Amino acid sequence: MRQTDDGPDLDAYFARIGYCGPRTATLGVLQELHLLHPRAIAFENLDSFLGRPVRLDLPSLEEKLVHARRGGYCFEQNTLFWKVLASLGFQVSGLAARVLWNQPDDTLNPRSHMLLRVELDGSTWLADVGFGGVTQTAPLRLAAGMVQRTPHEPCRLIETDDHHRLQVEIGGEWRTVFRFDLTEHFEVDYLVSSHFVSTWPASQFVTTIMAARALPQGRLALKNDRLIVHETGGASRHVHFATAADLRATLAADFGIDVPEPDRFDARFAELGFGQGES
């Protein structure tokens, strides 16, 4: 296993996501990597749920997401993706967003989500492989009002005063995912934000089990003891887990995640009252 300070282990990363294409800074390469990454590397917050540290240095990210075949949340996923893109010659910088998913558009939340800005051939693209249940599966051009087709949901960017809002179309309804501006953020900014969301006792990343994965024809979205299987163009299927063991088996089989410290995970599952019924 190669861990150096001069860039990511591209061979290992490409093997992890199943990429065999060219290593050049082109739109086609960006689109292919952006599709394959969230299919292979699940969104998950098991470390913060179990009180384990979340590290954002490159060797730790490679060890966890690439070699140990775990997943991670936005700061981990997008930091790794940033390092990969930069090593291929892409011009990448960091942005931050206020999450508005399932909340009114005028909610004022902290900037708790990381996304990437990619400058390519005179155009600005947004890359984000770590949002969760509606993680982008394609880069989006920074162009207000234009409906942009992706391998999954259609997306659009709405420009309002001093910020942009990302929206996705689900069931014929446009729903806001987050709002952001173009203020550049740096790795030190994400260290502070990541530490807060992964350790604050009331954070959903501490109190809630979350996992998500993009599929070739749909998505998986897990919250606590409930799994929703979304099939593109079809109905959604809901699954309830009565035991932590059943949930761990699904995380392994469908998300590719071996739960760390399974005994501790099972104890927290019971402590928080998960698996107690269908209501």
Q: How many CB atoms lie within 10 A of CB 229?
A: 17
Q: Which residue is it, tokens 């203020």?
A: 183
Q: Is 74 a catalytic residue?
A: yes
CA distance 9 to 120: 23
Candidates 128, 152, 164, 230; catalytic one: 128
Active site residue: 34, 113, 164, 185, which one? 113
37, 47, 74, 164: the catalytic one is: 74
37 is annotated as an active-site residue:
no
DSSP 217-263: TEEEEEETTEEEEEETTS--EEEE-SSHHHHHHHHHHHS--PPSSHH
Rounded distance, CA 265 to CA 270, Å?
A: 9
- Report which secondary-structure segment, H or E, holds 34: helix 27-40
**Residues in the chain, total:** 279
Q: Which residues contact 240 (CB under 8 A, 6 or more apart)?
A: 225, 226, 227, 275, 278
Q: How far apart are CA 145 and CA 125, in angstroms?
A: 15
- HSE-CB at 124 with a 13 A cutoff on CA atoms is 11
Active site residue 155: no
The catalytic site residues sit at 74, 113, 128
